[in-house]
Structure 1
Amino acid sequence: MHKIDVMHKEENPLRSPPLVEQAFVQLRRDVLDGTFGAGAKLKVDELQAAYGLSSSPLREALSRLAQEGLIRADERRGFRVAPISEQDLADITRMRLMLDVSALREAIAHGDDAWEGAVVAAFHRLDKVESRLGDGPVVLDDAWSELHRAFHLALLAACPSERQRLWGASLFDQAERYRRFSARHRKTARRKSNEHRKIMDATLRRDADTACAMLEEHILSTQRNVTAALKAAAQAA
């Protein structure tokens, strides 16, 4: 197992996040970017050696990732990265359409000026990063991915249902693993800035029907792209 770069253990503890949070962030990153492939077994002793952390924060981080659906827990077999399949992606997509589209409609109905400003700021940061990237698969850029997530969550932030927002964020992360899989197999660059701008503009106009239709198509386009990548990978195997 390769050695993974981690924060030096002697860093000032007042400036470092808690060990559980460190373990969670690092594990989540490596699951999302494919360092640990679909179905890979996550052995605590190997993770200890890779991350330089004790078993306690690692086990708690693994449990949190299991709750988010990124890994699977089995009492006898331990932890494994969740598998990747068209059926799983279809289920994630179906749930995102149920939760996120209605959450956007609610956000448009309840959002105030501060919410609008946060949406504009989130898009601006995302657009600036994307404009500086080359023609490669931007979804594999960590900075872009974090800002992409922040933009989508900002759109829904004014939805009154905290559970809906939290479940939507979890599903976004599960879909992120598929987006990154698709990017690794993509033959051409795919820019999303124009799609995001159109969703933002309709949202700020308080045109809920248009904004929700655009978000639905945005989510479905991810499913189509990943499904094509899954089929191409299967044919190449």
Structure 2
Amino acid sequence: MDDSEVATKTETAYRTLRQEILETRLQPGAPLKLGALRDAYGIGWTPLREALSRLEAEHLVISSANKGYTVAPVSMAELSDLTNARRLVELPMLAESIANGDEEWETQLVAAHFRLSRCKPPVENPEELVISDWEERHEAFHHALLAASKSQWLMRFYVQIKDQLRRHHRILAITPGLAASKGPEWRDSAAFHSLRDALAIEPHTELMNAALDHDVDKAVALLGAHIELTKQVFSVADFSKPH
């Protein structure tokens, strides 16, 4: 096997495992046994080890001398830290994006909002396809908001933070105590109402309109409130213990 073939297999292994972790099919805290991963995904030893090393560098995987590799855990403390980091990165990016935004940027933002508006939030139907579809459209909307920002480094930080937050959001959507019941008790709970408010299209519409009006102060305030609401969803859910 030549070097290019090894590199291709490593990239495939990396992308496969990364997607499985981000979409929490490999659960936070789960052990990553090399033999089991090789059998489950058809990945060779060398590409597997190199892929896990890359994922460890991204803090999606952790390793220890005694336990080997495990999926990085999620926790309320981690979510709070990520939320603060998101504010520090995303709010200045939004202000810069609005300042630089032209007609093409406005057009793309409106299109992304329309696609999001045509997708039902997964608050009452946390099935895999529903969650994935909504995530893709929601991320596209937020990316469209920031697309006119010129800072490549801030965009890199934004993407890294977004991926880590995605795992936390996924855990909330699929936690059995929240998602599995879907009955009167779940719909009457504070967690349900907070989650519904966080995923609703109306705050996104208000945010889009402020951006299109080039009202930087209002848009930044709305985005800041939207970011905090996501953290509040976890605070009212049973998320006090690491997952």
- Shorter-chain TM range is 0.7 to 0.9
Task: Using the TM superposition, give the Cα deviation of residue 215 of structure 1 relative to its aligned residue in structure 2, in angstroms.
Answer: 0.9
Match of 1:175 in 2: 165
Decide whether the 8 Å contact of 1:71 with 1:79 is kept in 2.
yes
Matching of residue 33 in structure 1 with residue 23 in structure 2 = yes
Decide whether the 8 Å contact of 1:33 with 1:177 is kept in 2.
yes
Matching of residues 211-230 of structure 1 within 5 Å:
211-230=219-238
Give the one of 200, 225, 236 matched to 1:192: 200
Match of 1:23 in 2: 13
Query: Counterpart of 1:41 in 2: which secondary structure?
Result: coil
Task: Using the TM superposition, give the Cα deviation of residue 50 of structure 1 relative to its aligned residue in structure 2, in angstroms.
Answer: 0.9
Could you say which structure has the greater relative contact order, defined with CA pairs below 8 angstroms and 6 or more residues apart? 2
Matching of residue 159 in structure 1 with residue 149 in structure 2 = yes
Match of 2:108 in 1: 118
Q: Give CA-to-partner distance per residue, 1:39-66, whole Å, 9 cap, x none.
A: 2121232212111122343334333333
Q: Scaled by the length of structure 2, what TM-score is found?
A: 0.78
**In 1: Cα distance, 2:12 partner to 2:166 partner:** 20
Q: Scaled by the length of structure 1, what TM-score is found?
A: 0.80
Task: Using the TM superposition, give the Cα deviation of residue 203 of structure 1 relative to its aligned residue in structure 2, in angstroms.
Answer: 0.9
Give % identity.
36
Match of 2:210 in 1: 202
**In 2: Cα distance, 1:194 partner to 1:138 partner:** 23
- Partner AA of 1:150 in structure 2: A
Task: Using the TM superposition, give the Cα deviation of residue 75 of structure 1 relative to its aligned residue in structure 2, in angstroms.
Answer: 6.3
Task: Using the TM superposition, give the Cα deviation of residue 73 of structure 1 relative to its aligned residue in structure 2, in angstroms.
Answer: 3.9
Query: Counterpart of 1:53 in 2: which secondary structure?
Result: coil
Size of the aligned set, in residue pairs, is 216
Task: Using the TM superposition, give the Cα deviation of residue 220 of structure 1 relative to its aligned residue in structure 2, in angstroms.
Answer: 0.8
Task: Using the TM superposition, give the Cα deviation of residue 145 of structure 1 relative to its aligned residue in structure 2, in angstroms.
Answer: 1.1
Match of 2:132 in 1: 142
**In 1: Cα distance, 2:105 partner to 2:223 partner:** 18
Change beyond 3 A, Cα 1:65–1:227: farther
Decide whether the 8 Å contact of 2:10 with 2:50 is kept in 1.
yes
Q: Which runs of 5+ in 2 are unaligned?
A: 1-7, 179-185
**In 2: Cα distance, 1:61 partner to 1:127 partner:** 37
Matching of residues 33-72 of structure 1 within 5 Å:
33-72=23-62
Matching of residue 82 in structure 1 with residue 90 in structure 2 = no
RMSD of equivalent CA atoms: 2.6
**In 1: Cα distance, 2:58 partner to 2:142 partner:** 18
Decide whether the 8 Å contact of 1:178 with 1:226 is kept in 2.
no
Task: Using the TM superposition, give the Cα deviation of residue 20 of structure 1 relative to its aligned residue in structure 2, in angstroms.
Answer: 4.1
Q: Which runs of 5+ in 1 are unaligned?
A: 1-17
Decide whether the 8 Å contact of 1:199 with 1:211 is kept in 2.
yes
Q: Give CA-to-partner distance per residue, 1:137-171, whole Å, 9 cap, x none.
A: 47962121122112212211211110101111110
Query: Counterpart of 2:120 in 1: which secondary structure?
Result: helix
Change beyond 3 A, Cα 1:155–1:67: farther
Task: Using the TM superposition, give the Cα deviation of residue 21 of structure 1 relative to its aligned residue in structure 2, in angstroms.
Answer: 4.4
